[in-house]
């Protein structure tokens, strides 16, 4: 097991432990202060029985989802660190740093795809949602490292996305176009959860696994797909997309980010 994976497991044990209420309240308060977490849409820090519960906090009220079927919404609260059009072989993790799309997804693409990288920092809401109505045909788990995915690490580590542990959701849009929703693990993110597939348990397997569905799983736009146990990255690949966002723009889940056809 890589050192980064060991660190993530140890941190995971600490974060999931429920300390006595006075101590847990202090831990939660310190975390909120250090990372400048805004809890206006969430329960107060003292209501979480562990750090994991705080990390994976749910919204206390629903955000409004654009009903127009061609409008894409941001899948998570995040910073857009890179976006563009991939070649059949490569995409960018950040400016000047390419990686192999085939290594990331576990398959070759026969055409260019549009992509957006969404970085979730430790202070962000850690749940992620469907950017559009979609049908899921396959889920792929790839074991790997758990290197940090913050900007300094992206600038330093070659092919970071394709090296890190990840879960790839393979689906189609309502217009029958392919999309790939990739949840990438990172340091201290010892668990990537997919609500529709309980057999996926990241940082627990040493081998790659693929689950294929004879009957596709239908997911509505804005529906919660899963969550990270801390900050990490979502990479969205779409066969057709007209983005309406920019690199270094902060976005919120449910915010309009473009259209698809």
Q: What residues are annotated to the active site?
A: 77, 129, 232
Distance from C-alpha of 153 to C-alpha of 157, rounded to nearest angstrom = 6
Cα-flanking dihedrals φ and ψ of residue 257, to 5°?
-125, 0
Distance, in Å, from the CA atom of 103 to the CA atom of 101, rounded to the nearest integer, reads 5
Rg (CA), the chain: 18
Would you state the structure tokens that stand for residue 132, as one six-digit string? 């559009």
**What span, in angstroms and rounded, lies between the C-alpha atoms of 148 and 119?**
11
Residues in the chain: 261
Contact status, residue 8 vs residue 203, Cβ threshold 8 Å: yes
């Amino acid at each position: 097991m890589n050192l980064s994976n060991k660190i993530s497991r140890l941190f995971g044990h600490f974060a999931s432990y429920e300390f006595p209420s006075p101590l847990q309240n202090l831990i939660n308060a310190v975390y909120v202060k250090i990372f400048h977490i805004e809890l206006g849409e969430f329960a107060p820090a003292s209501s979480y029985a562990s750090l994991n519960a705080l990390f994976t906090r749910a919204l206390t009220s629903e955000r409004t989802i654009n009903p127009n079927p061609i409008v894409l919404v941001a899948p998570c609260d995040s910073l857009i660190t890179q976006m563009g059009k991939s070649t059949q072989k490569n995409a960018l993790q950040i400016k000047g740093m390419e990686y192999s799309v085939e290594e990331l997804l576990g398959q070759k693409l026969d055409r260019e795809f549009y992509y957006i990288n969404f970085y979730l920092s430790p202070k962000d809401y850690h749940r992620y949602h469907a950017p559009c109505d979609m049908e899921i045909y396959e889920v792929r788990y790839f074991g790997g490292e758990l290197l940090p995915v913050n900007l300094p690490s992206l600038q330093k580590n070659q092919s970071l996305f394709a090296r890190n542990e990840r879960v790839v959701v393979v689906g189609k849009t309502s217009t029958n176009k392919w999309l790939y929703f990739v949840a990438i693990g990172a340091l201290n993110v010892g668990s990537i959860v997919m609500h529709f597939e309980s057999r996926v348990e990241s940082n627990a397997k040493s081998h790659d696994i693929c689950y294929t569905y004879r009957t596709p799983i239908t997911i509505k736009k804005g529906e919660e797909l899963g969550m990270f146990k801390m900050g990490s990255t979502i990479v969205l690949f779409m066969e057709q997309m007209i983005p309406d966002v920019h690199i270094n723009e902060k976005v919120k889940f449910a915010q309009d980010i473009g259209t698809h056809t």
